[in-house]
Amino acid sequence: MKRVDEEPTPKAIDNALSQDPLHRKREIEDFLKMLITVEPPYTFVIDAPWGSGKTFFVKQVARVLQMANPTLKHDFETLNATLGETATELPATPCLPIYFNAWEDDHFDNPILPILASIANAVDEQSVKGGKDFGKGVISVIETAASIIGYGVDINGIIENFSGTDFLEQYKAEKELRSKIGELIKSHLPKVAKRAIIFIDELDRCRPEFAIKVLEQTKTLFQQESIVVVYSTDITQLAHSLQGVYGPRFEGRKYLERFYDKRLELNPIKPADYLLYKGINTMDGYTFMDITVDLLSYKHASLRACNRLIDSITSLSGYITNHWEHFGDGRVQHFPDQGLLPVINILAYYDPLAWHEMKTSTDFGAVYELAKHSNRFIQYLDEVIDSVWGANKDELPYKQDIENRRKRIVEDLCALIYGNDDRDPRVKELGNCELTRMSFNQQLYQRLTPPS
């Protein structure tokens, strides 16, 4: 069994660059141009909700910077095929991309050592031509940082390929560390790149105390010529977590503005395109899929949400395809599976409490409240209403405005699916029509669980 969320492995990053499943090529190109034209020191923040693909975005940018730098893992052929005109502009300003995942290292009390270890990893002598002096300079900076922090941490394994230095040796003070970083950038960076781009990812998932230290130390130590810092985070979530430290009246967003020069938002993904990239056919006019895509778009579904729903979407649509003939030929007979089932599947993920109330026949109201945001669902539902109640729409209880009539038939149908009492007035209200328990597999609906 694999993890649901796709890992940003080197292969996955290369595939994303070449196939562009999220249609972010233009955003990547625009951001790359910003990185090579701003005047350092400069700080960006990539702001997007959890699960929106921020890590994939910054890792794609870092990968392009690697390909464009002759001293790194350059690949001008792939670069030109991927970016075209933008690719010709990048080699003139070669950059050293450095990626630091703050969440993975928030068990440290102080973030400076793992950040510096990320720099050391970026200048591994085996992958950087002419970067030997820069690598030695990084080690010197790490030694200074370790002596200032003054606690034992087992980072020897991280940089053992660079030096056998004893990290317990004590040096002077934090000013020396800043001085050494400045010397490193001034003396050795030009041998590798014209500027360093430090990507600091996943701040919003860190312990708030650690996130604050990352922000403050980065601002103190890396406000240097030739350094651009890029945070990728959910500003709203990070500001909220800071309120947990400083209190509910703390203005987290204003506090965070101290640490960046420009905020950029990622465009929301298009669920239909992403599902198609993952092998789900969203293009054939299939009603189940049309309604699914409508509702995912209404919910501004993140990559994470799509990934968690892929299995249930695939299995349910496959079930309908394989059992189509079992439930009759009419459009009305297929409404439970083609029209209602995709709504229930999305509801189960986004609102498990409402889904539980529906499944236990406690309250069906949330079903229509979600379903009404799909134009495809409403069109189909109106067809069903005309077929089921068409001759009686001017009589009570059917004589009411169209919105209440739509809501009422959805609740009646839910009562038919999730209840077992044919005397239920809602079931009787459906009348002697094509919508019966023979129109759907009741066990399938009972077995549905929220995607996770």
pLDDT digits (tens, 9 = 90+) for 224-233: 888 999 999 9
Q: Cis peptide leading into 91, omega within 30 of 0?
A: no
Dist CA 135 CA 191 (whole Å) = 11
Residue 150 Rama label (left phi>0; alpha psi -120 to 50; beta): left
CA-wise closest residue to 183 among 121, 225, 147: 225
Which tokens in the block code for residue 60? 């794609």
pTM for this structure? 0.80
Instruction: Give the confidence band of 346 by pLDDT, cuts at 50, 70, 90.
Output: very high
CA-wise closest residue to 209 among 284, 295, 110, 301: 110
What is the torsional sign of CA 431, 433, 438, 442? negative
CA-wise closest residue to 49 among 200, 213, 234, 209: 234
- pLDDT on residue 333: 80
Please, what CATH class does the domain formed by 10-265 belong to?
alpha beta
- pLDDT on residue 15: 87
CA distances (Å), 346 to each of 291, 320, 363, 370, in order? 10, 16, 17, 9
Q: Cis peptide leading into 40, omega within 30 of 0?
A: no
Residue 97 Rama label (left phi>0; alpha psi -120 to 50; beta): beta
Which residues make Cβ contacts (< 8 Å) with residue 246, sequence separation at least 6?
Answer: 252
Torsion of Cα atoms, 61 then 66 then 69 then 74, to 10°: -130
Q: Name the one residue in this structure whose structure tokens are 């009404």.
A: 372
Instruction: Indicate the domain borders of the chain.
Output: 10-265, 271-447
pLDDT digits (tens, 9 = 90+) for 175-224: 666 677 777 677 777 888 899 999 999 999 999 999 998 998 888 888 88
pLDDT digits (tens, 9 = 90+) for 388-429: 777 666 665 666 788 988 998 899 889 888 887 777 888 777
pLDDT digits (tens, 9 = 90+) for 5-36: 777 888 888 888 888 888 899 999 999 999 99
